[in-house]
Structure 1
Amino acid sequence: MAPIDWASPWFLPWRELGAGVLARCQAGHAVHEALNAARQPLAPPGVRFGPQQMLPAGEPYERHIFERAVVPTRDNAHDFFNGLVWLGLPHAKRRMNQLQATEILAHGVGAARGPVRDALTVFDENGAVLMAPDVVWEALLARDWPRLFLDLRPRWAEARLLICGHALLEQLQQPRKGLTAHVWRAQAEITSMAALDAWLAGQLQPERLARKPFTPLPVLGIPGWCPDNQRPGYYDDERVFRPSRALAQSA
């Protein structure tokens, strides 16, 4: 496992959990062993981690976790971050897994996942939760990037973003401008990881997921998350900061 800069704003919420797990990996332990060692007293409800080889050929990954309460884990950064999210948001991850397994049981595993599984996969891989003032959220929904990141720049001091998509966390080891989270809004009053875990688990309902209650947020646009975003013209790059159709038509 490569070193991780836990002072980076996207990794900082995971530092307390992650630094010890990473140290065990760097000392020669397999990722699943290091994650299991960190489970006490933070054990996810009924879930432990095991080597990837325990997943039988042809068995769906999500169903295996649901039925056997073991998360197959490879020795790489992708599964390291997945394990951290299991430790930090155990009830939300368990709920996502339950919904995935239910969808697989009902519809099987085909070329298309269906709207609920698709939304679950997007959020599991690239999700984030934003706690922010109304004006910040409204500008984000409108994809009004100049207002969101320039006019409202001081209001970001009142906002908190937790990246919980493990693939996005992996990619942020080498941050680049285009990295984008699929953001779900949470109540601003939520201040702890445990409270956020309980809240998010309750929000994960099939009918809500089918509507994809997320909105895209280029994370390196967030004030304080990238020195370059203080430079003039940073937000003019429409390959990353794509305007909404409404704003584009009114321009």
Structure 2
Amino acid sequence: MAPGLGQSTPGAVDWNAPWFAGLARPPLGAGAVHEALNRAWPAQGPVRFVPQSALPPGMAYERFVFETASVPTRDNLHDFFNGLIWLRFPQAKRRLNQLQAQAIAAEGVGAVRGPLRDAVTLFDENGALLHAPDALWQALAARQWRRLFVELRPLWRAARLVPFGHALLEKLVAPRKPITAHIYRAPAAIESGADEDEWLARQLDPAHLATKPFAPLPMLGVPGWWPENENFSFYDDSLVFRSARPAQPRQQGLRNAADPA
């Protein structure tokens, strides 16, 4: 059980679960979550974790993190996993925070996020990286679930799935079949965590992110991640493994750029 989480914890964290591989495991005890995260963080780390009370009333969280290099942290699982992702992907998290802060400075904090802030939040909360052969990516993009998880099952030995979103990790403490991540494609050649972090930070281009270049992936369908998917009837659930939506017909009167004038 993580420090300071008390009875709010939905269960002890099973650190042997594949989705927690590669994460730091701060010493657990009776202290506050931000203190445990700081103990696991090198002294020269790009941010420090502070109690939630350090965030001034009315100030945007993202702006505070950007200007002070301090991450307000509550004593709950959500912020605990946010801290672990900061430890695992410091450069990428700083880049996402920079994009959020710049968008807030330019547009303010409105009732509705713009396309960029919406995409950044989506990836920050629920994203994951997938290093995989082309055939798996093609099946995933087309939502060909049977092909992805059954016909191409041997190819998953050459793939690596890395959760990034802290809300995603929080949900996976109590795994459920419908849990779905927003997947961003990563090159298969990256091996080390530091290289992965550096690559991702460079990839986070605002124009590209605003297009939401993600693919949905039901996490428990990944071979080797959940015992029940060894029985292939697991993938017959049409509520979880939905087919891709058919392409919408063009509205009358609109022409494709390739159509003759």
TM-score by length of 2: 0.89
CA distance in 1, matches of 2:232, 2:113: 42
Compute the displacement of 1:33 (Å).
0.6
Letter in 2 for 1:119: A
- What 5-or-longer segments of structure 2 have no aligned partner? 3-8, 248-261
Letter in 2 for 1:216: P
- 1:44 and 2:45 aligned: yes
Compute the displacement of 1:234 (Å).
1.3
CA distance in 2, matches of 1:238, 1:53: 45
CA distance in 1, matches of 2:17, 2:105: 40
- What 5-or-longer segments of structure 1 have no aligned partner? none
Count of matched residue positions in the alignment of Structure 1 and Structure 2: 238
Q: Any residues of structure 2 matched to 1:39-188 within 5 Å, and which?
A: 39-40=41-42, 43-45=44-46, 47-188=47-188
Residue matched to 1:34: 36
CA distance in 2, matches of 1:77, 1:105: 29
Q: Is the 8 A contact 1:44 1:91 kept in 2?
A: no
- 1:228 and 2:228 aligned: yes
- The Cα offsets for residues 69-88 of structure 1, whole Å up to 9 and x where unpaired, read as 10000111110100000011
- The Cα offsets for residues 134-164 of structure 1, whole Å up to 9 and x where unpaired, read as 1011110010000000000111011000001
Percent sequence identity over matched residues? 59
CA distance in 1, matches of 2:238, 2:103: 36
CA RMSD of aligned residues (A): 1.3
- The Cα offsets for residues 185-210 of structure 1, whole Å up to 9 and x where unpaired, read as 11101011101100000011110011
CA distance in 1, matches of 2:89, 2:171: 20
Match of 1:9 among 12, 18, 21: 18
SS across alignment from 1:10:
helix
Structure with bigger gyration radius: 2
Q: Judge which range, 235-244 or 96-105, deviates more.
A: 235-244
Q: Judge which range, 137-146 or 225-234, deviates more.
A: 225-234
Q: Judge which range, 124-133 or 235-244, deviates more.
A: 235-244
CA distance in 1, matches of 2:92, 2:112: 24
SS across alignment from 1:50:
strand
| Structure 1 runs of 4+ with >2 Å offset | none
Q: Is the 8 A contact 2:132 2:159 kept in 1?
A: yes
Compute the displacement of 1:13 (Å).
2.0
Compute the displacement of 1:245 (Å).
2.4
Letter in 1 for 2:122: V
- The Cα offsets for residues 95-115 of structure 1, whole Å up to 9 and x where unpaired, read as 000000000011111111100
Letter in 1 for 2:223: P
Residue matched to 2:201: 201
